[in-house]
Chains A and B, each alone.
Chain A
Amino acid sequence: MLTEPDQIIQLISSLLALILFVVSHLAYRRERRKKLFILSLAFFFYSAMNFLDAADIFFPQAGEYPEIWGSLLNFVVLALFFLSMITNE
């Protein structure tokens, strides 16, 4: 089922981003800082984006939809990182 090496790397990246999401979410729950909440969202969407990029392994019939969502999430992730940088509290 797993044929393309880049898709395997994308899946591993997705898993790593998910771990970073958990850590950042725990950091937010501990500190209650908006900046950390935005970061945790960014990592969550990054994880979803990488999963969608590798989605045709699981859903080959999905066509171009995962790619469109992947590009949209790419923008969302960058926007969230930017937002967390300009958030003080």
Chain B
Amino acid sequence: MEFELETRRRIYEQIKKSPGIHFRELERRLQMVVGNLQYHLQYLEKKNMIRALNDGDYVRYFVKDRSLSETERKIMSFLRRSGCRHILLQLLNNPGMNNKEISQAVGLSPSTVSWNLNKLVEAGIIEREKIGRISKFTVIDPSAIAELLICYKESFLDTLVDGFIEMWEFKDSK
């Protein structure tokens, strides 16, 4: 999942950087196999993230301007927190992880992970399933998170704020 997400993000970024880029140029720049590139382009088109225009000679690709819904904006604010972003990526790849497993995977302390998980549960982005004494977590709408992760780009301000929080919280810089 993460691999696919990364590939789609690369394609999306490339189209965003060069609006109107055609298939062969994309293939050359990204050094991707035709079938693989076609598959991901179809996915991005289906999800309304890019659009294809045929100019007679080439099919050209453009990024669609998305206006985020209230829920998407809420998800985006969580994606701007590096801790939450890493947790969500882990849960996308391995649904049903518990606190301890997530903590080991993202390299954050169990208490920090627990704090972030509670915030994500409160926001209705992930759900908690209690099995005995262990809580397992799953992303409620994985495709919405995946789409936003493709659009998401960390800004300098995000890095600055993350750095500030980490400095005062003594968290790991993941």
Contacts and interface: CB of A to CB of B under 8 A. Distances in A.
Contacts, number: 22
B160 interface: yes
A30 B80 contact: yes
Given A23-B164, A35-B168, A39-B168, A30 B157 contact: no
Interface string B156-173: 010011001100100000
Contacts of B168: 27, 35-36, 39, 84
Contacts of A26: 157, 161
Interface in A12-64: 23-24, 26-27, 30-31, 35-36, 39
Interface residues of B, number: 9
A35 B168 CA distance: 9
A36 to B, nearest CB: 7
A26 B163 CA distance: 12
Given A30-B77, A30-B161, A31-B165, 12 more contacts: A23-B160, A23-B161, A24-B164, A26-B161, A27-B164, A30-B80, A30-B81, A30-B165, A36-B165, A36-B168, A39-B168, A84-B168
The list of the 10 closest CB pairs from A to B, nearest first, reads A27-B164, A27-B161, A26-B161, A27-B165, A23-B164, A23-B160, A23-B161, A31-B165, A24-B164, A30-B161
16 contacts: A23-B160, A23-B161, A23-B164, A27-B161, A27-B164, A27-B165, A27-B168, A30-B77, A30-B80, A30-B161, A30-B165, A31-B165, A35-B168, A36-B165, A39-B168, A84-B168
